[in-house]
Amino acid sequence: MKYSRLTKEQFNELEQEFINFLATQSITGDEWTNLKANKPDLAEMELDVFSDLIWEGVLNTAKYLEHLSPNQMHLFSLTDAHMKLIGVKLTNNKDLTTTKGYNWLRENLMDDAVEFVQATKDYSDDKNLDKFKLIQQGAVITKGDLFNYFNKLIN
Q: What is the pLDDT of residues 48-89, one digit of tens each?
A: 999 999 999 999 999 999 999 999 999 999 999 999 999 999
Give the global pTM. Answer: 0.86
Query: Residue 25: is its pLDDT beyond 90?
Result: no
Q: How far is CA 86 from the centre of its chain?
A: 17
CA distances from 48 to 6, 36, 43, 109, 113 (A): 8, 14, 9, 45, 45
Q: If pLDDT is split at 50, 70 and 90, which confidence band does 27 have?
A: very high
CB contact set of 71 (below 8 Å; sequence gap of 6+) = 89, 90, 91, 94, 95, 96
Phi-psi region at 20: left, alpha or beta (left = phi > 0; alpha = psi -120 to 50): alpha
In this prediction, residues 121-148 reach a mean pLDDT of 95
